Amino acid sequence: MGTAMTCDQAVKMLFAYLDRALPGDALEELERHLQACLDCCDRLQFSRRLDDFVRDRLGDTPLPDGLEARLRERIHAVQSSRGAS
Ligand SMILES: [Zn+2]
């Protein structure tokens, strides 16, 4: 086993990280990687914002492929139904 996590591994863990579902060891490793890797840091910031955004507006909806188009549809639907009431 290597000591450093790869970006690929880090990215896969980001979602669990955002859900606070990582065990302590993995969490430490990921945070170490994030401190050293600007790319993954950016991804985390982005994912975090997206996560907040999605939770805010859509609740616990899983993220499908074609994410952006689907998000726009859902947001539009939510806005319309709010506007209608
Ligand atoms: Zn990385």
Spacing, Cα 44 to ligand 1 middle (Å): 10
Q: Is pTM, for the whole model, over 0.85?
A: no
Distance 10 CA to ligand 1 centre (A): 6
Is the pLDDT confidence value at 26 over 70? yes
Domain housing 62: 7-84
CA distance 44 to 15: 9
Q: Ligand 1 (ion): which residues have CB within 5 A?
A: 7, 10, 37, 39-40
Query: What's the half-sphere exposure (Cβ side, CA atoms, 13 Å) at 85?
Result: 5
pLDDT bin (cut points 50, 70, 90) of residue 27 is: very high
Is 2 a domain residue? no
pLDDT in tens, 32-83: 999 999 999 998 888 888 878 777 877 666 655 677 777 777 777 877 776 5
CA distance 40 to 80: 36
Specify if 12 maps to a domain: yes
Does residue 1 lie in a domain region? Answer: no
Please give the tally of structural domains in the chain: 1
Confidence (pLDDT) at 60: 61
